[in-house]
Structures are given as C-alpha cells and as structure tokens.
Homo-oligomer: A and B are copies of this chain.
Amino acid sequence: MTVDLAIFTVRGDQLMVLLIERGVEPFLGRAALPGGYVQKDETLRDGALRELWEEAQVDGGRLHLEQLGAYGDPWRDPRGRVVTIAYLALGPDLPTPVGGTDARRAYWAPVSEVINGVRELAFDHPAILADALEEVRRKLEYTAVAAAFCGETFTLSELRTVYEAVWGQYLDPSNFRRKVLKTEGFVRPTGERRLPPTGRPAALYRRGSADLLSPPLLRRVDES
C-alpha cells in the first residue's frame, strides 16, 4: 500500500506538477509522481504529508491536500500487487525542492509537457496525473480553492492568472472581477494595495470563508 501525490502549483502563467527522478528500481531513472509506502500506524493523509516532506522537502502545512482515489489494478506495479492512494495537493509557487531518499532529484515540470507525452511517467502515473488535472480544473469551477495557489494575500489579477493557467484559456478581467467580488465569501479585502511593475495599484485580498461557489464559475466548453 502506497500513497502518490500530484502536487500542482502555478508558476508564471503555467500549471506545474512536481515530479521526481526515481532513484530505485523499478523504473530507476524514470520520472514519477512523488510517493511511497504507507506506514502501519499513520493515516493515509499523514502518510501523504510525510512522503511530501521526505521526497520533496515540501511543507504540507501551507498547501491544500485532498484524496483523489485509489488505484489498484493488479498489474500496475511490476513488483506485484501494490494499491496506491492518490492525493491531490495545491500550493503557491514553492521553492524548487531537492531530492529525497528514494528520489535522485525533484523538480517542477509544466503539466502540458507531461500530458503531451514529452516526459514519460512510471507506473500508471500518467492516468493518475490525468485524473488529478481534471479534478483541479473541476475544483476551480465549483469551489474557492484557487486561492490555495496564491500567497497569503493576492490581487484579483493573480487569482485570474491561476484560473487561466489551470484551464488554459483567457478570462475577461472585468467579468472575472465582478464574479469573484459578488460571490459571497470568495475573497476578503485586506485594505492594502500592491504596485505592479506598471499600471494602477491593485487591491489585495485574502481567502474568504466560502468553500463552495454557487453558482459555480464555469469554464467555457468549446476550447477550439
């Protein structure tokens, strides 16, 4: 029984996922999602948090962590029957982590490159990553987790950039602002402002109390 983690962050205007280069067999040297065995006395969530730290030196306290599901096809691991519980983590632009015990190194990779097959992942991690990606995209529609990608305080432009990076589509700044501000509990103004490199200062917000957005903030379906 193992846990595997799909850890996402937004850097610049790209959605990134944390990958490791495996330092042990099987799939030695191959790219993979961080993860490892669950210990006997810990919860699945605690196991995920521990692996997060061991393999990538990422502190779980600051990021959103939720279970994605169990992957247990008998042939998914060449070593034999290994069921893995996949977790989804979202965090602000984190420092590039160093490798851990079972990982030669850890690094952020653009999700688009991994999905396109430019990098080949070990095990059934391509499927896990695909499911995780769809889940994040869906979560942004129906919940207020997008703020988990931002720092403690953020501007509405930063928040919009998160949506654009995750969904891969342009959003009208004005309509986005209207939707976010009139959705009760989405964000809470701090009263402070931040100066962009150029242009008018932007108001700063912090995450609100709401978890669900109703009505949701739907992405366009066409995407041609």
A173 at the interface (CB under 8 A from B): no
A17 at the interface (CB under 8 A from B): no
The distance in angstroms between the C-alpha atoms of A42 and B218, with both chains bound, is: 38
- Flag if B41 contacts A1 (CB, 8 Å): no
* SS of A interface (majority): loop
Which residue of chain B lies nearest to A67 when distances are taken between CB atoms in the complex? B69
A177 at the interface (CB under 8 A from B): no
A70 at the interface (CB under 8 A from B): yes
Partner of A67 from B41, B42, B70, B142 at Cβ < 8 Å = B70
Partner of A81 from B40, B74, B215, B216 at Cβ < 8 Å = B40
Q: How near does chain B come to A76, taking the closest CB pair, in angstroms?
A: 9
The distance in angstroms between the C-alpha atoms of A42 and B74, with both chains bound, is: 6
The distance in angstroms between the C-alpha atoms of A67 and B84, with both chains bound, is: 14
Known: A214-B221, A215-B218, A218-B215. A44 touches B67 (CB 8 A): no
Chain B residues in 8 Å Cβ range of A38: 72
The distance in angstroms between the C-alpha atoms of A38 and B81, with both chains bound, is: 11
- Flag if A73 contacts B43 (CB, 8 Å): yes
Q: How near does chain B come to A181, taking the closest CB pair, in angstroms?
A: 19
Chain B residues in 8 Å Cβ range of A221: 214
| B-contact 0/1 string along A185-224, CB 8 Å cutoff | 0000000000000000000000000000011101001000
Number of copies: 2
A85 at the interface (CB under 8 A from B): yes
A159 at the interface (CB under 8 A from B): no
| B-contact 0/1 string along A71-96, CB 8 Å cutoff | 01110000001010100000000000
- Flag if B215 contacts A83 (CB, 8 Å): no
| B-contact 0/1 string along A28-43, CB 8 Å cutoff | 0000000000101111
- Flag if A70 contacts B73 (CB, 8 Å): no
The distance in angstroms between the C-alpha atoms of A42 and B73, with both chains bound, is: 7
Chain A interface residues toward B at CB < 8 A: 1, 38, 40-44, 67, 69-70, 72-74, 81, 83, 85, 142, 214-216, 218, 221
Q: Which 6 A-B pairs have the closest CB atoms?
A: A44-B72, A70-B70, A70-B85, A43-B73, A67-B69, A41-B74
